[in-house]
């Protein structure tokens, strides 16, 4: 999979070189390319935004600069993801769907967002004919300072679903067996007693059927007690 992130803060993405994602890039499973939006400006001040038509607070990012940046990376079959709190809510299902993509382009807006003509332009027939799809995505009902952290959340959730990226593929198999959303049962490891607290005895019973049933009920209870 090819990933391109376009941002005015390329340094935000440094952590993507760490851990399993760094390894996946070294191994050629994944290429993550971060692009500085300001490199597409032509004025001496490297301007990326301007006041909104119609008035109002804040600044809007320039369509022209974004268009050049996207044109410089976009390939047939790409998913162009525009991060915005107004977008479709990101979840595991969307992560699964996007894990099969050829190219993901993350457009990380700041301020009051990107001139909407960018979304409209790349949604037109000529892009549809090239299998290019535009999606506005939000990672949750809160407002971040920009799309950088949101796109890193998405990149981590999506890329771990690509075969070979995760260290232990059994972890993935277990997640998909729990599609009802009861994935997170409580876990314990040694020692058997810590600060007076014992590991639940059933986990030491060796009865795999009973352990599986216990875990499912615990996961359900945990989910409900957290208000989900
Ligand atoms: N940009 C600002 N807030 C955001 C959010 N919640 N999700 C995605 N992009 C954002």
Question: What is the token pair recorded at 182?
Answer: 């009861």
Total number of domains constituting the chain: 2
108 and 195 assigned to the same domain: no
Query: Is residue 83 very low, low, confident or very high in pLDDT (cuts 50, 70, 90)?
Result: very high
159 and 185 assigned to the same domain: no
Query: Is residue 144 very low, low, confident or very high in pLDDT (cuts 50, 70, 90)?
Result: very high
What is the predicted pLDDT for the residue at 122?
99
Is residue 22's pLDDT more than 70?
yes
107 and 198 assigned to the same domain: no
Closest by CA position to 189, among listed 176, 179, 169, 203: 203
Instruction: Write the Ramachandran bin of 19: left for phi over 0, alpha for psi from -120 to 50, otherwise beta.
Output: left
What is the predicted pLDDT for the residue at 118?
98
123 and 80 assigned to the same domain: yes
Question: What is the token pair recorded at 44?
Answer: 């001496």
10 and 78 assigned to the same domain: yes
Residue of 58, 82, 83 to test ligand 1 pocket, by largest number of atoms within 8 Å of CB? 83
pTM, 2 dp: 0.94
- Cα of 130 vs centre of ligand 1, distance in Å, is 27
160 and 180 assigned to the same domain: no
In DSSP terms, 146 is beta-bridged to 110
Domain that holds residue 102: 1-167
How does the average pLDDT of the chain come out, rounded? 95
151 and 132 assigned to the same domain: yes
Residue of 107, 136, 138 to test ligand 1 pocket, by largest number of atoms within 8 Å of CB? 138
User: Which CATH number is 88's domain given?
Assistant: 3.40.1280.10
pLDDT digits (tens, 9 = 90+) for 192-221: 999 999 999 999 999 999 999 999 999 999
pLDDT digits (tens, 9 = 90+) for 110-135: 979 999 999 999 999 999 999 999 99
Q: Do residues 137 and 80 lie in contact, with contact meaning Cβ atoms separated by under 8 Å?
A: no
Closest by CA position to 85, among listed 118, 109, 120: 109
Query: Is residue 9 very low, low, confident or very high in pLDDT (cuts 50, 70, 90)?
Result: very high
- Cα of 151 vs centre of ligand 1, distance in Å, is 9
d(CA 8, CA 186): 40
What is the predicted pLDDT for the residue at 220?
96
Bridging pattern class, strands 197-198 and 60-61 = unpaired
17 and 125 assigned to the same domain: yes
Is residue 190's pLDDT more than 90?
yes
Is the distance from the beta carbon of residue 53 to the nearest atom of ligand 1 less than 6 Å? no
Is the distance from the beta carbon of residue 147 to the nearest atom of ligand 1 less than 6 Å? yes
pLDDT digits (tens, 9 = 90+) for 153-176: 999 999 999 999 987 777 777 776
């Amino acid at each position: 999979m090819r990933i391109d992130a376009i941002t005015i803060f390329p340094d935000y993405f440094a952590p993507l070189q760490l851990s399993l994602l760094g390894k996946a890039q070294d191994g050629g499973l994944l290429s993550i390319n971060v692009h500085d939006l300001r490199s597409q400006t032509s004025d001496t001040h490297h301007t990326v935004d301007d006041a909104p038509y119609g008035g109002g607070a804040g600044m809007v990012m320039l369509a022209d600069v974004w268009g050049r940046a996207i044109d410089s990376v976009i390939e047939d079959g790409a998913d162009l993801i525009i991060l915005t709190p107004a977008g479709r809510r990101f979840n595991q299902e969307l992560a699964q769907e996007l894990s099969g993509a050829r190219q993901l382009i993350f457009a990380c807006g700041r301020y009051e967002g990107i001139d909407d003509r960018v979304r409209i332009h790349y949604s037109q027939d000529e892009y549809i004919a090239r299998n290019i799809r535009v999606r506005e995505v939000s990672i949750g009902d809160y407002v971040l300072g920009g799309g950088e952290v949101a796109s890193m959340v998405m990149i981590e959730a999506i890329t771990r679903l690509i075969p070979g990226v995760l260290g232990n593929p059994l972890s993935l198999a277990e997640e998909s067996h729990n599609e009802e959303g009861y994935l997170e049962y409580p876990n314990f490891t040694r020692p058997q007693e810590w600060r007076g607290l014992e590991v639940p005895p059933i986990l030491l019973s060796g009865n795999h059927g009973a352990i599986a049933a216990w875990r499912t009920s615990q996961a359900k209870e945990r989910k409900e007690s957290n208000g989900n």
